[in-house]
Amino acid sequence: MSWEIVGLGDFLTLKRGYDLPAQQRHDGEIPVVSSSGITGSHNEAKVAPPGVVTGRYGTLGEVFYIEQPFWPLNTSLYVKDFKGNNPRFIAYFLKWVLNGAQSDKAAVPGVNRNDLHARKVIATTDYAEQQKIGDILSAYDDLIGNNRRRIQLLEQSARLLYKEWFVHLRFPGHEHVKIIDGVPEGWERKKLGEITSLNYGKALKESDREPGPFPVYGSSGIIGSHVKALISGPVIIVGRKGNVGSVFWSSEDCHPIDTVFYINRNLSSFFLYHALQNMTFISTDVAVPGLNRGLAQSHLLLLPEQRIFNLFEGIVTLIQMQIDTLSKEIVVLSQARDLLLPRLMNGEVLV
């Protein structure tokens, strides 16, 4: 085994990404990679694959392996020179090195490239060994990626079913139902506030959270975890501040913070979840985008008759059960990979 202590800059060379404001981007298939991953596309590439990208500002510690030509943004650092090392291994190696990296910026989180280059690390310089380590860890990521793709397809099937039945009104038996003023016989229009209530989430600062089994929801989705839940699942979460009108389903007990509304489990349904996703919510605040509860609850909903409602709930419940199973597998696979990563990177586990 060829393990030795080296300077990170002797093992690889990091380079700052390139400016590309949104207004200067053109339609194309080239991924634009920021500190949080692929965040857009362009018609021109700056870097040839394979690529390894990490955050310089904003999201720190995440590392992305890119297998096609790409454009790294100026909020990121990318590996300009792999110096003969295996690129896939380098992606995992860099993630290990950056684990727990501290920002050197007070206002905006950031890392200094020169400081990273000067950092002393233990590494294997044997290419075959690097490839074996990369293959072991990527097997976990391949399974995780496959599960995520299956989840996307399942979510898409539920969305398409909702639109087919409740937007295009091609529900089972629709051929034999009269449509009166755009409403199928036996259906009715009601305001959102007449059938449910949007409750305010409760503040929970990041400094007050203790990592635990319960997801913490903000207007952009899951933003952390906590040892205690605020509400019992399943529940619907709706973005109130920031990402206005975003809609999330949580099968688990969770803690929605004060940037969101939530709907209690006894009033949450898959029909309502998809109906909210098809609503257009308008921000009523100027400085920080915000959703007015009264205005949101005044939105009209087309409610189906009970038989169709129950049929939809039954079908989507089965879909959600598959999604939940795949999501749990992702958690287990991620934990196993993250436990194995440092042991492979410091030579504790032989390959």
Note the pLDDT tens digit of each residue in 208-232: 999 999 999 999 999 999 999 999 9
224: alpha, beta or left? (left if phi > 0; alpha if psi -120 to 50): left
16 DSSP β-pair partners:
77
Amino acid 316 reads: V
Alpha-carbon distances of 206 from 53, 103, 111, 260, rounded to whole Å: 26, 17, 21, 16
Tell which wins on pLDDT, 307 or 100: 307
For the chain, the average pLDDT equals: 91
Question: DSSP 3-state assignment of 72?
Answer: strand
Going by C-alpha positions, the residue among 73, 275, 56, 55 that lies closest to residue 64 is 55
Interhelix angle 87-98/127-162, nearest 10 degrees: 80
Return the H-helix or E-strand segment holding 282.
none
Secondary structure (3-state) at 220: coil
- Taking the model in full, what pTM does it have? 0.84
Quick one: fold of 3-125?
Adenine-n6-DNA-methyltransferase TaqI; Chain A, domain 2 (3.90.220)
> What type of residue is 163?
K
State yes or no: pLDDT of 104 exceeds 70.
no
Per-residue confidence (pLDDT) for residue 59, from 0 to 100 = 63
Tell me: pLDDT of 306 over 50.
yes
Q: Give residue 58's pLDDT.
A: 63
pLDDT band per the 50, 70, 90 thresholds, residue 205: very high
Please name which of 219, 195, 226, 192 lies closest in space to residue 297, comparing C-alpha atoms. 192
Tell me the pLDDT band of 287, cut-offs 50, 70 and 90.
low
Task: Tell me the pLDDT band of 3, cut-offs 50, 70 and 90.
Answer: confident
Q: What are phi and psi of 297, to 5 degrees?
A: -75, -5
Alpha-helical (H) ranges within 281-305 are 293-296
Band (pLDDT 50/70/90 cuts) for residue 102 is very low
Q: In the chain, where are the structural domains located?
A: 3-125, 188-303
Which of 158, 172, 157, 159 lies closest to 304, judged by CA? 172
Strand order in 30-34's β-sheet?
37-42, 30-34, 71-72
CATH architecture of 188-303: Alpha-Beta Complex (3.90)
- 36 neighbors 55 (Cβ within 8 angstroms): yes
Amino acid present at 132:
K
Q: How far is CA 143 from CA 37, 93, 108, 146, 328, in A?
A: 19, 20, 34, 5, 12
